Amino acid sequence: MSSDGIHKAVREFHNTIPIYSTPSTSLTAKEIFKLCFGEVDNDFICKKKPIGVRYNAVFIVDLNEVDQKSIYADDNGVWNTASPRSYYRVDIRDGRIENVVPGNKSSYTHYLRRQYGTHQAIYNERGVSFQRIISTATSKYNIKSRYAVVQYIHRDSEEGDIVMKAHGNAKDYQSRPFFKTDLSVLDNIKEETRETKPRLLFKKLVDDAGGPLYSSSAYSEPRNLQQIYNIRSSTKAATKTDQLTHLVAQIRESTFVHELAADGESLQYVLASEKQLMDLDTFCTHQLHFLFFSVDSTFNIGNYYVTNTCFENLRVVHSSGKYKGRHPLEMGPTFVHTHRDENSYLRFFSALNRMIPNFRYQMQAIGSDGDEATMNAIAVSFTSESFVNLLCASHKKENIEYKLKEMKSATPAIRHIVSDIFGTNVDSMLYQKGLIDSETTSEFDSRLRDLKTTWDHLVPTFHAWFISNESEKFKSHLIKAVTDQAQLDGHFSNNRVESTNTNVKDWVGRSGKVTLPVFNRKVEEYVTCQQQEFEMAIYANGPYDLASTHTYLRKERHIWNGLNAGERKQVIK
């Protein structure tokens, strides 16, 4: 029941939102204040905005549910608007409005802002007035009312359909009727990476609205391709302040963005879902049976760096193709940062330790490509005696080949020395071990001494350089003694996490101009997609099968179909 006791039942507009009343005259200031402050039965509150209203009606819209600017796009075409303020002294007792009297700028408690909209096309065509009035109340302390009052009035004519005309700026008199596009659609156009072609984006947005068969409004669709071109040409790249504001909003609204830190020119944070963190803890921190955790940085996405991580998911295996029977990589937490130094990576690992209790003490093995800042941060962050800091053999091989070329070495000499270090396949059956295959540090030292004469003959300065610059790195991060401790079968390679970087770039775009908020949203989409593919293995669908150790999770499809969402979550968990 409303405050004045008039309304006995709730009418609905198009069976979707409640109509408060249907007067043919404007509401009084007191009536508007009461409605703006919620002195009305909850049954009359609209959680969605009114669309396509063509007759006398009043709606009370909850601004916690609907953006006020979105109300302006109402599928009624072009309105000529003015938004004056009116000042009042409002007497409130026991939480209810008792009296409202006019005030002025120097003496008031609240003001009403009414946006008066006159439908110009119907006035020009028929000489009658159809108005829309959107009212909100604000206190002198700038506290805005929760509700907006939206009223449509046929001022001096019978209720009826309205005339739709083109926008006033249209050059062609036969132009299509103009419909204002909803704010959310405009935001989607602005946020979408520019690598998405306008036609593809247009189709996506139309599909999101329901497509030609199911779309219920013009406001929910872009008008045409030109609208997309115009927005893209007029929208400047977001400033750092804009992006930071958006990031703070994302943290409030999402559980995917963590540990945001901004200091001067530095900005960094972590992207991770609860499931990613749980799986990382499960697969990489067990004292006896664990997997290594790979870390690799990339760029050319935006004006920031991205450090992706990954590990194998032991619950599933590839069901077909080149990797059939092998565990797939699961993407781990993503570190987004503007500086690529040791302190940045230290903050990343500290953040992970806060997100996964005792992470720094229980993590067993981490692998990287040998970037000095990353390696140093890992060494400082993980100090357990059993911890293994792995270095990618493929990257190290490339670096040594480059050094030999820098020393003007002959190609045969380079091949010989590289084989001495990294081993070589003599044929399909025989592998000749290299220094990297040493099972102890003493074996490595002994074999390195034995190679001095040969290497000095091939490249006179290389042996001394290797001892000074590479020997300790091999013994600490590369040889078989280290990879055995990390429970690896063979040399460590960071190539698979680099493939994750490639997949992420394919997903979010490679323009170098992807904004941080858009990147965050697209990475979350990627992670969700990957998790869904893992989950589909439970009922034998998608690219993966359950691993032999997890077949107890299997559910026949008809059984799965009979489970509700809660029961399915219990299985997945």
pLDDT of residue 172: 52
Separation of alpha carbons 573 and 570, rounded Å: 5
Do 328 and 354 lie in one domain? The reply is: yes
Separation of alpha carbons 457 and 435, rounded Å: 18
3-state class (DSSP) for residue 25: coil
| Beta bridge pairs of residue 546 | 316
Q: Is residue 256 assigned to a domain?
A: yes
Do 378 and 345 lie in one domain? The reply is: yes
Q: Exposure of 118 by Cβ count < 10 A (0-12 exposed, 13-18 middle, 19+ buried)?
A: middle
pLDDT of residue 164: 60
Do 80 and 215 lie in one domain? The reply is: no
Do 23 and 93 lie in one domain? The reply is: yes
Cβ–Cβ < 8 Å for 258, 271 = yes
Of residues 414, 427, 371, 361, the one with CA closest to residue 396: 371
Separation of alpha carbons 165 and 69, rounded Å: 22
Of residues 104, 117, 114, the one with CA closest to residue 83: 114
pLDDT of residue 236: 55
Do 423 and 513 lie in one domain? The reply is: no
Of residues 278, 477, 489, 495, the one with CA closest to residue 365: 477
Of residues 177, 210, 179, 151, the one with CA closest to residue 73: 179
Cβ–Cβ < 8 Å for 497, 309 = yes
Structural domain for 200, as ranges: 183-234
Amino acid at 218: A
Do 32 and 114 lie in one domain? The reply is: yes
Structure tokens at 68: 């006020």
Q: What is the CATH number of the domain that holds 311?
A: 3.30.420.10
Cβ–Cβ < 8 Å for 274, 255 = yes
Do 263 and 347 lie in one domain? The reply is: yes
Do 284 and 386 lie in one domain? The reply is: yes
Do 454 and 510 lie in one domain? The reply is: no
Q: Is residue 172 assigned to a domain?
A: no
Query: Residue written as tokens 């001096």?
Result: 156
Other Cβ atoms closer than 10 A to 521:
18
Separation of alpha carbons 540 and 559, rounded Å: 12
3-state class (DSSP) for residue 107: strand
Last residue of a domain, one of 431, 464, 485: 485
Q: Is residue 25 assigned to a domain?
A: yes
In tens digits, the chain (573 residues) has pLDDT values of 344 444 445 577 666 889 999 988 899 999 999 999 999 999 999 999 998 888 899 999 999 888 888 898 888 888 888 999 999 999 988 878 999 999 998 899 999 999 998 887 777 777 778 889 999 999 988 888 999 999 999 876 666 666 666 555 555 544 567 777 877 777 777 777 666 788 888 888 888 877 777 767 777 788 788 877 877 776 654 455 666 777 777 777 788 999 988 877 788 999 999 999 999 999 999 888 888 999 999 888 888 999 999 999 999 999 999 999 999 999 999 999 999 999 999 999 999 999 998 898 899 999 999 899 999 999 999 988 889 999 999 999 999 999 999 999 999 999 999 999 999 988 878 889 999 999 999 999 999 999 999 999 999 999 999 999 999 999 999 999 999 999 998 999 988 778 888 888 889 887 777 888 889 999 999 999 999 999 999 999 999 999 999 999 999 988 888 888 888 888 887
Digit-coded pLDDT (tens) for 203-227: 888 888 777 777 677 777 887 888 7
Last residue of a domain, one of 485, 515, 547: 485
Measure CA 184 to chain center: 16
